[in-house]
Structure 1
Amino acid sequence: SNNATAVLFTPIAISTAQSLGVDPLPFVVAVILGANASFASPIGYQTNLLVMGPGHYRFKHYFIAGVPLILLVWITFSIVAPWYYGV
């Protein structure tokens, strides 16, 4: 789940930021956004799986709609984070 991913990778992000000697906040925010960017898979989030059957969706529908959203979140964060956090 996205919660488990965030819990597992947040200490790694903090450790990486500390070893680089930078503020860990942007790293933690990146982990949070990455953990919640589960648009391209029906098993990435509970709600995706719940609507799969009644909506007659297939895995390819999540992939087709989810990949552009993931790319949008990634590019937006890559542009905004250095400006906002001064990294």
Structure 2
Amino acid sequence: MADIFHALDDETRRLVLDELTVRDGQTLFELCGTLATRHGVALTRQAISQHLAILESAGLLTTEKRGRYKFHYFTPSPLAEITRRWPTTERTRPCGSN
């Protein structure tokens, strides 16, 4: 689970996941363009590729290669693991009270 938190610790990687939730199955070229135009992220393709590799190793995205192109897809199941570990239930007492 530490790799999931590490992957989510970076703003650029969170933006990549945000963009994949808007339109799944983007190529590296498309993601670079979207990050630059919508968010002002001016990173090289190699830097974005490294961010994608971290997200993929954490299980937060999968890829599919078709010809010369590699498509990236958001995988939310690791996030579901986090919510199963720490379910959000309504508290019966205020925080800080015994």
Fold-level match, TM-score > 0.5?
Answer: no
The structure with the largest strand share of the pair is: 2
The structure with the largest helix share of the pair is: 1
Bigger Rg, structure 1 or 2 = 2
Q: If the length of structure 1 is used for normalisation, what is the TM-score? A: 0.31
